[in-house]
Amino acid sequence: MIDILIPLLVLAAVGIFCAVLLTLAARFFSVEENETEAALRACLPGANCGACGFSGCDGYAKALANGEAEKTNLCIPGGDRTAGELAAILGKEAEDVVELVAYVACGGTCDASGRKYDYRGKPSCVAAASAFRGDRFCTFACLGYGDCTRVCPNGAISIEGGIARINPKKCVGCGLCSKTCPQHIIHLVKDTTRVVVKCSNKDKGAEVRRICKSGCIGCGKCERSCPSGAIFVKDNLAEIDYSKCTSCGLCAEVCPVHCLEEGSFLCGSRFLPE
Amino acid sequence: MTLKSLILILMSGVLVNNYVLQRFLGICPFLGVSKKFQQASGMGIAVTFVMLCATAVTWPIQTYLLERFNLGYLQTIVFILVIAALVQFVELVLKKVLPSLHRSLGVYLPLITTNCAVLGVTINNITDGYNFLESMVSSLGVGLGFLLAMVLFAGVRSKIDNTAPPKCLQGLPVTLIAASIVSLSFYGFASVVENLLK
C-alpha cells in the first residue's frame, strides 16, 4: 500500500506546487492591456510594413500609447486619414503625412536592352541575381522576375515589357518592394515629386550606350539645362536634389536617351503608355 | 572534475552529441522555425535559456526528491510536469519584468513547453551521472549546439529557397534531404573532442 501512496503523494505534491506557483504568478505578474493602445491599433491599416520605424502596427500603437512616439503622421500607408484618427484619440492636432510613392529606377525594357543568357532557374529575382549578377546585359537593371510584385500588399506592381512598373495610384509607399529588390533599384520619393531618373547604371556612357538604349550616359545636358541647379551627374549617373527641384521638367525635355521622366505621380500620367 | 572536463562536456554538447543533428531530438522546431535566420536564432536562444532553467530545477528534484524516495521511475512524468510549468512561469515573469526580452523570445516559449530536446537534456544529465555544475555546463553546450544547428540550417534553407527542385521534392522533402546532409557533416566531429585537449 505504502509503495503506491508515496509516489502518488510525491506526484500530487509536485503538481499542486506547480499549480499554486502558476496561479500566484498569474496574479502578481499580470500585465494590463492598454485600452488606448487597442483603439490606436484599430485605426492602423495592419499592413505591418514597418514604414513608421516601429516593429509593425502593434509596435507603433504601443509606442504612441506609452508616449514614446510623439508624431501621429508616421504611418505612410494610412495617410492623412489614419493620422487624423490617431490624433483624435490622443487629443492632438493632426499633422500632414508626407506620402511616399515608389518608382523603379530602370527603363531597360525588352526593346531597350537584352539578356546575356537564357535563365531557366526559379522565376525569382533573388535567384537570378545570384547567377552571374543576373541575366541582363546591364548589371544594374531590373531583372523582371517579379519579387516586388509578389511582396506588394496592394497589387500595385506589374511586370510590363520585361521590367517592373509601379502604379502610383495603388502604391501606398510602404517600401516593401524597395527592401525586397536584390538590385536595390526601387526608390521611395515624396508623392509631390514630378521628375525621376529611370536608370541606375554607373558605368561610363559608351558602355551604357552599348548595352541599353534608355540608360543614362552621363552627358550632363540636364545639369546644364536646369535653372535651379537641382540636377547633377555623379558617378556617370544623373541625380536629382529634390530639395531644389521645382519640377519644371526642362531636364526631361533635353535628355537625349529619355531616362529622365516627367509627369505627375498623383494623377499617374507619367506612366501612361506612349 | 577539472576545468578540462567541463570544457570537454561543453564542446561535446555543441559538436559531437549535437542534439538535433546527432541524436535527432527537437526536430520539430528545427524544421518548423528554421525558415528565417532571425527566427531561427531567436528560437535557439530561447531553447538554450529554457534548457538552463530546466536543468537548474530538475537536477535538485531528481537528487533530493525522487532518489530519496526511490522513485527514479517517475523521472519522465515529473520532469515533463515541472518543465511545462516552469516554461509557463518563466513566460509570465518575463512579460512583467523584462518586456523587451519577452517580445523577442515570447512567441517561442510556448513552443518549447513540450520540446523533447529540453526533456532529453535533463534526463541525459542524470543518466550520465553529472553533478550540478557539470549538468549546467552540459545544458549550456547542448543549447548552444541547438542554436548552431538552427542557424546553420537557416542558412542552408535560404539557399534552397532560391532553387527550383523537381516538383516531387518541393517543400518538406528537399528540406529533409538538406537536413540529413547537414547532419552527415557533423559526423566529422565524432572524434575531435576527445583529442581536443590532449
Q: Given an 8 Å threshold on Cβ–Cβ distance, is B77 in contact with A127?
A: no
For the packed helices B37-60 and B116-127, what is the interaxial angle rounded to 10 degrees? 40
Q: Do B65 and A10 touch (CB under 8 A)?
A: yes
Phi, psi of A170 (to 5 degrees): -90, -25
pLDDT score of B1:
61
Test B77 with A11 for CB contact under 8 angstroms: yes
% of residues, chain A, pLDDT over 90? 9
Residue B142's pLDDT is 94
Q: How many CB atoms lie under 10 A from the CB of residue B178?
A: 16
Pairwise pLDDT comparison (A20 vs B114), residue with the higher score: A20
Helix (H/G/I), strand (E/B), else coil: B142: helix
Shared-domain flag, residues A198 and A83: no
A205 close to A220: Cβ distance less than 8 angstroms: no
Q: How far apart are CA B99 and CA A55, in angstroms?
A: 14
Res A270: pLDDT: 37
- Which one of B63, B162, B163, B170 would you mutate to disrupt binding with A, by most A Cβ within 10 Å of its Cβ? B162
A215 and A250 belong to one structural domain:
yes
Q: Find the closest chain A residue to B66 by CA distance.
A: A10
Residue from A3, A8, A10, A21 to probe the interface with B (highest B Cβ count within 10 Å): A10
Confidence of residue B43 (pLDDT cuts 50, 70, 90): confident
Q: Based on the domain organization, do A125 and A251 belong to the same domain?
A: yes
DSSP string covering A68-135: S---S---TTTHHHHHHHHHHHHT--------EEEEES----TTTB-BSS---S-S-HHHHHTTTT-S
Chain A contacts in chain B segment 138-157 (CB below 8 A): none
B160 to chain A, any CB pair closer than 8 A? The answer is no
The two most distant CA atoms of chain A are separated, in Å, by 102
A111 or A145, greater pLDDT: A145
pLDDT at residue A16 in the model: 93
Tell whether A16 is within 8 A of chain B (Cβ). Answer: no
What does the pLDDT read at residue A272?
A: 34
Q: How many helices (H) and strands (E) does chain A have?
A: 10, 8
Show residues of chain A in contact with B107, CB under 8 Å: none
Flag if B74 and A11 touch (Cβ within 8 Å): yes
The alpha carbon of residue A19 is apart from the nearest alpha carbon of chain B, in Å, by 8
- Domain stop point among A48, A67, A90: A90
Q: What is the pLDDT of residues A22-32, one digit of tens each?
A: 898 888 877 76
- Report whether A95 contacts A87 (CB < 8 A): yes
Say if A142 falls within a structural domain: yes
CA A174/CA A96 separation, integer angstroms = 17
Contacts of A31 in chain B (CB under 8 A): 95-96, 99
In angstroms, rounded to a whole number, what is the distance separating the alpha carbons of residues A232 and A246? 14
Q: What CATH number is given to the structural domain containing A49?
A: 1.10.15
- Joined together, the cell numbers standing for residue B154 give 537557416
The verdict on A123 and A215 lying in the same domain is: yes
Whether residue B27 contacts residue B48, with contact meaning beta carbons closer than 8 Å, is answered with no
pLDDT of residue B13 exceeding 50, the answer is yes
Q: Which pLDDT value is given to residue A262?
A: 67
Q: Quick one: cell of A33?
A: 492591456
Asked if the structure places residue A109 within a domain, the reply is yes
Decide: A187 and A102 in contact? Cβ < 8 Å. Answer: yes
Is A146 in the same domain as A240? Answer: yes
Min Cα–Cα distance to chain B from A132, Å: 14
Domain range for A84 is: 35-90
Q: Which of A60, A90, A120 is the last residue of a domain?
A: A90
**How many domains is chain A built from?**
2
Of the partner residues B92, B161, B164, the one whose CB lies closest to the CB of residue A25: B92
| Res. A265 pLDDT band, cuts 50 70 90 | very low
In a shared domain, residues A124 and A187:
yes
**Mean pLDDT score of chain A, rounded to an integer?**
83
In this prediction, residues A195-210 reach a mean pLDDT of: 89
What are the tens digits of pLDDT across the range B18-40? 888 888 888 888 888 888 888 88
Give the other-Cβ count within 10 Å of A172's Cβ.
23
Cα(A6)–Cα(A218) distance, rounded to whole angstroms?
88
Q: Answer yes or no: do A121 and A255 share one domain.
A: yes
What is the least distance, in Å, from the CA of B93 to any CA of chain A? 6
Whether residue A228 sits in one domain with residue A119: yes
Does B137 score more than 90 pLDDT?
yes
Residue A12 is assigned to a structural domain of this protein: no
What's the rounded mean pLDDT across residues B129-154? 93
Does pLDDT of A268 surpass 60? no
Contact B102, B42 (CB under 8 A): no
Please indicate, yes or no, whether residues A129 and A263 belong to a single structural domain of this protein. Answer: yes
Q: Are residues A86 and A162 in the same domain?
A: no
User: With pLDDT > 70 as the criterion, what percentage of chain B qualifies?
Assistant: 95
> Measured between beta carbons, which residues in chain B are less than 8 angstroms from residue A122?
162-164
Chain A, chain B: beta-carbon pairs less than 8 Å apart? 59
Assign B191 a pLDDT band (cuts: 50, 70, 90): confident
- The reply to whether A6 touches chain B by the CB within 8 Å rule is yes
Residue A151: pLDDT above 50?
A: yes
Q: Which three cell numbers stand for residue B57?
A: 530545477
Nearest residue in chain A measured CA to CA from B78: A11
* Residue of chain B nearest A19, judged by CA positions: B85
B163 and A121 in contact by Cβ < 8 A? yes
Report which of A161, A163, A230 is spatially closest to residue A193, judged by C-alpha positions.
A230
Residue A17 within any structural domain of the chain? no
Do A174 and A53 share a domain, yes or no?
Answer: no
Look up cell 489614419; give the residue: A82
Q: What confidence score (pLDDT) does residue B139 get?
A: 94
Predicted local distance difference test score (pLDDT) of residue A263: 58
Q: Is residue A126 part of a domain?
A: yes
What CATH code is carried by the domain that includes residue A180? Answer: 3.30.70.20
Task: Indicate whether A80 and A161 sit together in one domain.
Answer: no
A29: which chain B residues are within 8 Å (Cβ-Cβ)? 92-93, 95-97
* Secondary element (H or E) of residue B5: helix B3-11
Q: From CA A54, how far away is CA A66, in angstroms rounded?
A: 13
pLDDT band at A182 (very low <50, low <70, confident <90, very high): very high
Contacts of B92 in chain A (CB under 8 A): 22, 25-26, 29
Q: Which residue has the cell 530538475?
A: B58
- Checking if the pLDDT of B108 tops 70, the result is yes
Report whether pLDDT(B106) > 70.
no
Chain B residue with Cα closest to A27: B92
Domain assignment present for residue A239? The answer is: yes
Does the residue A209 lie in any domain? yes
Asked whether residue A95 is domain-assigned, the answer is: no
Q: Is A10–B93 a contact, with Cβ atoms under 8 angstroms apart?
A: no
Looking at residues A11-31, what average pLDDT do you find?
A: 86
Residues of A in contact with B96 (CB under 8 A): 28-31
Average of per-residue pLDDT across A105-129: 86
Mutation target to probe the B interface, by most B beta carbons within 10 A, among A5, A11, A14, A68 is: A14
**Which chain B positions have a beta carbon within 8 Å of A126's beta carbon?**
161-162
